[in-house]
Amino acid sequence: NAGVTQTPKFQVLKTGQSMTLQCAQDMNHEYMSWYRQDPGMGLRLIHYSVGAGITDQGEVPNGYNVSRSTTEDFPLRLLSAAPSQTSVYFCASSRQGGLDGYTFGSGTRLTVV
């Protein structure tokens, strides 16, 4: 049982480049979320999904896009990378959203130069 799998683990981008952070879960969870973690800031919600085909914005959505074509996958797209997007990104999934615990991936450490 793999849980939540994030790829890649590390990435360096140049300013202006685009890329997709991958997230997949094998627990048949309906709820999935993307967070970014910055020093001293805790985790901030970027986008979330309550099921295939349904997404919504979180606290810090600017510069990011998401889609949810299947229950398993929830990719996060950086449209035009900026140094302010240097962060650690976590994907998480849950069966009942905030009504039970979330399972987190191991994270993607992104540096934008």
- Site of interaction with another protein (CB under 8 A): 4, 31, 33, 35, 40-45, 48, 50, 56, 58-59, 90, 92, 96-107
CB atoms inside a 10 Å sphere around CB 60: 18
What's the closest the beta carbon of residue 107 comes to another protein, in angstroms? 5
Please, which residue, 80 or 106, has the CB nearer to another protein?
106
- Which amino acid, residue 8? P
Single-letter residue type at 36? R
Looking only at the bridges linking them, the beta strands covering 108-112 and 10-13 are: parallel
Provide the pairing of β-strand 64-66 with 54-57.
unpaired
Nearest-approach distance from CB 93 to another protein, in angstroms: 11
| Beta carbon of residue 13, minimum distance to another protein (angstroms, whole number) | 20
